[in-house]
Structure 1
Amino acid sequence: MPIKIPDRLPATDILRSENIFVMTEARAASQGIRPLKVLLLNLMPKKIETETQFLRLLSNSPLQVDVELLRIDNRPTKNTPQEHLDTFYRQFEMVKDRNFDGLIVTGAPLGLVQFEDVLYWEEIQLIMNWAKDHVTSTLFVCWAAQAGLKLLYDLPKRTRKEKLSGVYHHRIHDCHHPVLRGFDDTFFAPHSRYADFSADYLSKHTDLDILATSDKAGVYLAATKDKRNVFVTGHPEYDVDTLHNEFMRDREQGMEPAIPVNYYPDDDINRDPVASWRSHGHLLFSNWLNYCVYQQTPYDLAHFSEASFTKD
């Protein structure tokens, strides 16, 4: 897959070692085609780890994808070198006058924080409102899905009593929906959140297409009728050891977390977990890029306002 990212980005060597086709800018220019312009708003503290996870999923497509990394503000972070942020990330002011084919907004460790108490809540609102007129399709992941529901449907924050952590069984609700094309009737996906996404609640208070649910985890996947907003409440991007690292971190902080569900063989934390969600994650992102972005976006992004968005 031709995914175009800076050669010096740490993800480049990782993806190449996995036999993922990372294209140089010179080779991309020689192809004479317009790549999809995708903006990744990375809200996670460990930005290098998260950007690599999402770039891996964006690589599973025959389309050429040009990814730009966006940060929410210029506050220093202890989890990512400042040089990395200065070199590879853009501020919103640098992109606000441009149009993009796709926008991905990642999760954030804000499960128990009220929206009005989030330090960058005004910036999130600004970017999500901007996306309505500048982005063909936006993919909201985990916390971002909850934030998107608040901004698009004015839904209040709903929180579970205990953290949802583990790999959960889901079933699809419309095998003919473009986002679900190629999906098995049931599949597994990781969750790590306090947010509550009740299927009944979303059905009553939104016009979203509910695409996939879990009896225990609630709604996993939903989309607006025009596919311009897609909500993923879990973490298809997670590496096999991400839930383990979160679990061990919480234990070291004295939080006494529950063992992630359906994750360790026989619930033995000394045994290596096995990824059971990888193929579904790649297919989800491939479908989003194809059916929600590529099939919908104008060839010339300068004519974005003239684009028509269909429901098929």
Structure 2
Amino acid sequence: MNTTEKALDAVDPIAAARGRRWMPGWRLPAAWRRPLAVVGLVIVAFWAIVIVFAPLIAPYDPLAQDSPRFLPPSPAHLFGTDGVGRDVLSRVVYGAQISIPIAVMLVVLSLIVGATVGAVAGYFGGTVDAVLMRIVDLFFAFPAIILAMAVSAALGPSLINAVLAIVVVSWPSYARVTRSLVLGLRDSNFIAASRLIGASSARTLGRDIAPNILGPIAVISTLELGNAILLLSGLSYLGLGAVPPAPEWGAMVSEGSRVFYNYWVALFPGLAILSVVLAFNFIGDSLRDALDPRTSRAVQAMEL
């Protein structure tokens, strides 16, 4: 009798296969009581309101060029105007509808691709694992921003191409972390029990492994939202993302950087980027500390 069979003698296979789930709900209140988490939630809630009610909040059309150029902040234009007379406040408000939802979409797409590859590699092991991880290592051989710039430049400047470029450089991180988490669960008793009752690989991955790695993956995804916004803004800043006159925050910072003495053109979209990145990092750090100690190890592996 092997080790797995001995372990299964001590448990009900059906109960083991069905009963092991990662249940973090009772720890959530502890996460939300952390001061940084509260700050992050307030900032995210603020920007969510801005996104939903942008037409009501913005005082002007973000594309209208009917004001004097480079007006400093004033009661009529709280954030001033840019080089062609557009209201900076209105552009920052409408820019939230571009930068934040696209960052969320980036993380979701990267997660789907990366988690699928990582789960398959970790669960099946052997040749499958070796081949998939060598592909992942190939992507890690290049700095993310350089590879994203190369892909975006090859495809041409546009938001869609920037999204594709960022997904290309982001999914390997999720693959590596997911593989690590799945490897830690693959030989568990409840996984062996699931196999014993005849569950398919897809069923085992979906019903038994996925619930146990959702916590760490969710926390990492929250942290990656900030990185996605930075990457998207960086590509737009370099002219490889949003195309003018789209009010994307990175593109606005790029326009403002060319008129240094008219500081408000770049300052306010830059502050918007900073606030969102900090908010998601505050929330992610608080969730990581409160939900699952394994997440800290996963994040460290992602940063290597």
- TM-score scaled by length of structure 1: 0.26
The one of the two structures with greater contact order (alpha-carbon pairs below 8 A, sep at least 6) is 2
Answer 1 or 2: which has greater strand percent. Answer: 1
Answer 1 or 2: which has greater helix percent. Answer: 2
- TM-score scaled by length of structure 2: 0.27
